[in-house]
Every structure is written in C-alpha cells, then in structure tokens.
A and B are shown apart, each in its own frame.
Chain A
Amino acid sequence: MALDKNGIAKRIARELQDGFYVNLGIGIPTLVANYIPEGMQVILQSENGLLGIGPFPYEGEQDPDLINAGKQTITYTTGAAFFDSATSFAMIRGGHIDLTVLGAFEVSENGDLSSWKIPGKMVKGMGGAMDLVASAKNIIVAMTHTDPKGNSKLLRHCSLPLTGIACVKKIVTDLAVVEITAGGFRLLERAPGVSVEEIIAKTAAPLLVEGTIPEMES
C-alpha cells in the first residue's frame, strides 16, 4: 500500500541524527518535525530567521512576529536563536545545514530538481529553494511518485524549469526510497505491499534494482 503524507514524513525522519541542523520545506517536509525520534536533539532552521522551530502556538497565543517560512504562526524552542535573512542564508550557503528536505514537481536521474515554476500556470517564485539546493550537503526530496494524472515525477530529464542541478541525493515517495547514483536512480526500499514491478512501471527512467528490495520500516 502506498504511504500517505505522514508515512513519507515518518520514513524521512529515520534519516535524522542527533545534533543535526535541518531545514524542512513547505508541505510534506514540514510533517517530518512530528516524527523526530524521542531523545534525539534536532534543531530546525526556518530561513526567515530562526534556529529552533517549536510547535504551533496554543490558540490565542499566536504572535505576528513569529512565523515560519510558510508564513504560519509558530513557537520557538529552548535555546533558539533569531537572525536576519542574510545571516540565515549564510548558514545555508555556507554548508552549515546538515539536512534539507523539500518537495518537488520533478527529479531527474542525475539529481536535477524542478519545484518552483510551471510556465503559463504558476509563477510564485523560488523563495529560498534555489539557495538551499545549491549548497546543502544532503538533500532529500519528499514527493508523490506520480502526479495526479499518474505521470511519473522521476524522469530522465526534468521538463519544468530547474531549481538546481545535480543536487538531490535521495527521494522518498509514497511508493519507494530511491537514491541518486552516478548511474542514475537506484531503488533502496519499497513501501509495504508495493511491488518492485509497480515502482519500475511508475518510474519514467531506468531504475537500478540490485538484489532483494526490502520494505520500508516506519
């Protein structure tokens, strides 16, 4: 069975390590914060100027001066730090962020990523995504394996305007965990009950499958 959004987030949370500074993008990536393992200290960065994102505030305690990059009201954790946008992107550009998780429209087999523009339909801007993907040491994409029409979002070449080139290291979808290697997409894990054949059929690029592919542990 394909994973839901929370299932994808839960699987990505297994990539976290104690002491990691992590930037979570808008959408599914934000949900990863709900699955940080007990006893592990992970500090979440918000590119609008906060290290130490906390949970949503209690009703009535929202503060207009305290929002995340998705412009939602949030709180901050003990030991948090605030800073300006230039400093925030110094952290990002300088390679100080251990893990970046973001959504995508398309990923190509060499790790190119499209996530910010659909010509003629949607132009909202790239926000911080281009800065993040150009400089992050480790980038995981969280997305559905196919679009609503059933077209694969894993491609030989991206068809939409790029956010970054050769930057994605790993993709976690509702069907599979796929690694980007020098030889293209490599299947690492499959969602519980999803066959390797189904994943191959729904991936519009060659997929390296070596040995038995285990089911994802959540």
Chain B
Amino acid sequence: MNKVYPNAVAAIEGIADNMTLMLGGFGLSGIPENSIAALAASGIKGLTCISNNAGVDDFGLGLLLQNRQIKKMISSYVGENAEFERQMLSGELEVELNPQGTLAERCRAGGAGIPAFFVPAGAGTEVAEGKETRVFNGKLHLLEHALTADYAIVKAWKGDTLGNLIYRHTANNFNQPMAMAGKITIAEVEELVPAGTLDPNQIHTPGIFVQRIFQVVNLEKRIEFVTTRPKP
C-alpha cells in the first residue's frame, strides 16, 4: 500500500471534466490550496464543487471560478466574491445554497452510508421547496440527501503515510466530514510523517478514509479579515 504522492499535480491525477469534488475549508481557513492551484493549472472544467464557501476573487476556489472551471457550486455562504456573484446572477454558474449544518451533515452522512436524514433547518423557507417533509415531536423537518464526491480534497495539519490526519484549531471545519465522503480522498498536509509517529489517540480522520496524501509546499495561508488589538 502506498498512499504517498510527491505533490498536488500527481495527487489530483484522475480528476476529469464534469466530476464532483468536495473541498474542505471555511472561508480561506483550512482550504487545500496546493490542490486548488494544481486544479487551476490543469484546465479541468465543468466541475461541481461542494465547498462551504467559494473563496475570494483571487484565492481559493475563486481561482477556479475565474477560469470558468466550475459549473455548479453547493455551498452555504458565498459572500466576499464578486466574480462568483457575477457568474451566479448571469446564470453562468449554477448555485445550490444549503444551510451550513445541513451541508456538513450531508457530507458526513455520505461517508457514513446514511442516504438521507431529516433536519429542521430550512423548514418553511425556500430551502424546503421540493423536499419531502415530516413532523417529529411537533416540529416540521425536511428530508435531506447525503452527498458524496468523485474526489474529496482536504487540508490537514499533520498526516502520516497511512493517511491518518490531525487538523489544527478551526482549520478542521469541513475537512473532517468531507474526508469521509470521497470515492477517493486526497489529503494535503503541512507535515507528513512516517506511520507510528502520530499519537493514535489524537487522530481526527482515520487513514481508512484517505487514499492519497502529500506534503504541501509554499503555503500562503491567506487570512480573509485580520482583526487584532494593540499590545498592552
């Protein structure tokens, strides 16, 4: 078994036009930026991207939007991206907006073999249109279907050669549920170590979910809004 790939270009091999991808991250935090750069350079198009956000104009998934590589986005929040808004309003880009917790659970369920589940989020709103409903405990719920992807691409802090992953702080976010839901899951990690190096008690994503892993290079880790206070 060899899961280790030399770089992003090698790790994304097999991704083709019109495939469905999941990409981890919240805002720009914890996004698989090496893989996104490789996708941007690849010219692959017609992608359906499942990602909480759509990056900013010139970083993250914004790079793929600029290149018109994305046909459809499934997200919960897409502000802070003018090109996204333009493509959506002009009809070039198909957009499905999900409540954030529903989106996370759809990914988790996809990986966990649960085809659909009921949630109260969105009941009575336009999110409910066309969805089966049912009342539990006196409250209206919507039937939501699981999501899976041809490839799930996640970013972790540390990973080992067997694909075990540890995330850092709030850069975990969608990476952990999405890592479970890819037919093939690619993990890019800041530090790739030999199996046996990480404490098995601390693993967030067990290696069974990860088929390909590589160590990132030249991470930018851009911050969307730097907010600080003066040092005393």
- Interface size of A by CB at 8 A reads 51
Please tell me if the beta carbons of A65 and B171 are within 8 angstroms of each other in the complex.
Answer: yes
Q: Which residues of A contact B103 (CB under 8 A)?
A: 85
Known: A93-B101, A126-B99, A127-B77. A65 touches B229 (CB 8 A): no
Please tell me if the beta carbons of A85 and B173 are within 8 angstroms of each other in the complex.
Answer: yes
Q: Which residues of A contact B20 (CB under 8 A)?
A: none
Say if the beta carbon of A72 comes within 8 Å of chain B: yes
Other-chain contact of B224, A59, A71, A128 (Cβ < 8 Å): A71
User: Measured between alpha carbons, how far is A12 from B179 in the docked complex, in Å?
Assistant: 39
Please tell me if the beta carbons of A71 and B27 are within 8 angstroms of each other in the complex.
Answer: yes
User: Measured between alpha carbons, how far is A128 from B105 in the docked complex, in Å?
Assistant: 12
User: Measured between alpha carbons, how far is A73 from B226 in the docked complex, in Å?
Assistant: 6
Q: Which residues of A contact B169 (CB under 8 A)?
A: 50, 63, 65-66, 76, 82
Q: Which residues of A contact B30 (CB under 8 A)?
A: 65
User: Measured between alpha carbons, how far is A163 from B101 in the docked complex, in Å?
Assistant: 14
Please tell me if the beta carbons of B176 and A86 are within 8 angstroms of each other in the complex.
Answer: yes
Say if the beta carbon of B102 comes within 8 Å of chain A: yes
Known: A55-B229, A56-B228, A67-B224. A124 touches B78 (CB 8 A): yes
Per-residue contact bits, chain A 101-128, to B (CB 8 Å; 1 contact, 0 not): 0000000000010000000000111111
Please tell me if the beta carbons of A125 and B171 are within 8 angstroms of each other in the complex.
Answer: no
Q: Which residues of A contact B78 (CB under 8 A)?
A: 123-125
User: Measured between alpha carbons, how far is A86 from B102 in the docked complex, in Å?
Assistant: 8
Please tell me if the beta carbons of A85 and B177 are within 8 angstroms of each other in the complex.
Answer: yes
Quick one: closest A residue to B140, CB to CB? A165
Other-chain contact of B101, A58, A61, A88, A123 (Cβ < 8 Å): A88
Within 8 A of A (CB), among B186-232: 204, 221-231
- Segment touching B, from A41-49, A144-152, A200-208: A41-49
Q: Which residues of A contact B230 (CB under 8 A)?
A: 58-59
Please tell me if the beta carbons of B127 and A130 are within 8 angstroms of each other in the complex.
Answer: yes
Q: Can you identify 19 A-B contacts, CB atoms within 8 angstroms?
A: A59-B229, A62-B228, A64-B28, A65-B221, A66-B170, A67-B224, A71-B28, A73-B225, A82-B169, A85-B104, A85-B176, A92-B101, A93-B121, A123-B89, A125-B76, A127-B100, A130-B121, A131-B100, A131-B101
Give 5 A-B pairs besides A48-B26, A65-B29 with Cβ atoms closer than 8 angstroms. A55-B229, A72-B226, A82-B167, A85-B173, A131-B121
